[in-house]
Amino acid sequence: MTTKKIHYLSGLTITIFIALHLFNHSCSIFGANQHIEMMNTLRLFYRNIFVETILFIAVITQIVSGLKLFADYRKEAKSNFERLHIWTGLYLSVFFVIHLTAVLGGRHFLHLDTNFYFGVAGLNSFPTNLFFIPYYGLAIISFFGHIASIHSKKMKKSIGGFTPDSQASAIFIFGLCVTLIIFYGLTNHFTGVTIPKEYNILIGK
């Protein structure tokens, strides 16, 4: 099996989880309690040794294969979507390394529930938000950008007069909208998020 095929299959696996994860984050526009309630429901599916092991293997596979593909093809990218594919993939690889390390560290070393408050503590505090706003924002945008670029490459025909590139642009714009919705829900300037004191360790308090 080629590196591209392995990367594609691991990506499909991760995409299912990310879609659920972003849907969960979108629920934050209704408040922290609704976000946590939905998270607890979704955890019945993915917070078990079997699914978590599959996800962990898929993420590691995605990182390793993605970095190899980046090294092999970054100079061959010609169109805007090809370049978007290459560079969003690189950012997602870096994000996965940082995010996975942070979540595992928070769970096993800090003994925190890596729930809504684990994600928003740094996002709602200065100066840590100077890192976390672009960190999270670029991750969501890169995810949709990666999907859009793959769609542009694999889609062979127009739909309703929209070319594959137009369809891919629509996917990317949808991703930008999702990013704004999620940031609205996760930011205390809009929804009045109050961080419990046990999470202050994440922001050096």
pLDDT classification of 189: cutoffs 50, 70, 90: low
pLDDT value, residue 191 = 65
Helix (H, G, I), strand (E, B) or coil at 159: strand
Q: Are 52 and 46 in contact (CB under 8 A)?
A: yes
Q: Considering the chain, what is the average pLDDT of its residues? A: 92
| Segment 15-60, tens digit of pLDDT | 999 999 999 999 999 999 999 999 999 999 999 999 999 999 999 9
Alpha helices by DSSP H, listed for the chain, are 3-26, 32-46, 49-73, 80-108, 116-120, 129-154, 164-186, 188-191
pLDDT classification of 190: cutoffs 50, 70, 90: low
- pTM of the predicted protein model: 0.92
pLDDT value, residue 176 = 97
